[in-house]
Amino acid sequence: MAVLLDKDTKVIVQGITGYQGQFHANLMRDYGTKVVGGVRPGKGGQEIDGFPIFDSVKEAMDATGATASVVFVPARFVRLAAIEAISAGIKLLVIITEGVPVTDTMEIVKLVNEKGIDLIGPNCPGLITPGQAKIGIIPASIVMPGNVAIVSKSGTLTYEVIDQLTRAGMGQSSCVGIGGDPVKGINFIECLRYFQDDPATEKIVMIGEIGGDAEEKAAEFISQHVTKPVVAFIAGKTAKEGKTMGHAGAIVMGNTGTAKGKIEALEKVNVRVAEKISEIPKFLK
Side-chain-side CA neighbours of 115 within 13 Å: the count stands at 22
The residue annotated as part of the active site, out of 29, 203, 247, 262, is 247
Element (DSSP H or E) covering residue 151: strand 145-152
Give the Cα separation of 246 and 41 in Å (integer): 33
Task: Identify whether 122 is preceded by a cis peptide bond (ω within 30 of 0).
Answer: yes
List, in sequence order, every residue forming a beta bridge with 232; answer none if it has no partner: 206, 273
DSSP assignment of 157-204: HHHHHHHHHHHTT--EEEEEE--SSSS-SS-HHHHHHHHHH-TT--EE
List, in sequence order, every residue forming a beta bridge with 48; answer none if it has no partner: 51
> Within 10 Å of residue 74's Cβ, how many Cβ atoms?
13
Look at residues 80, 16, 11, 82 and name the one whose alpha carbon lies nearest to residue 43.
16
Q: Known catalytic residue: 247?
A: yes
Give the residue numbers annotated as catalytic, written as ranges.
Answer: 247
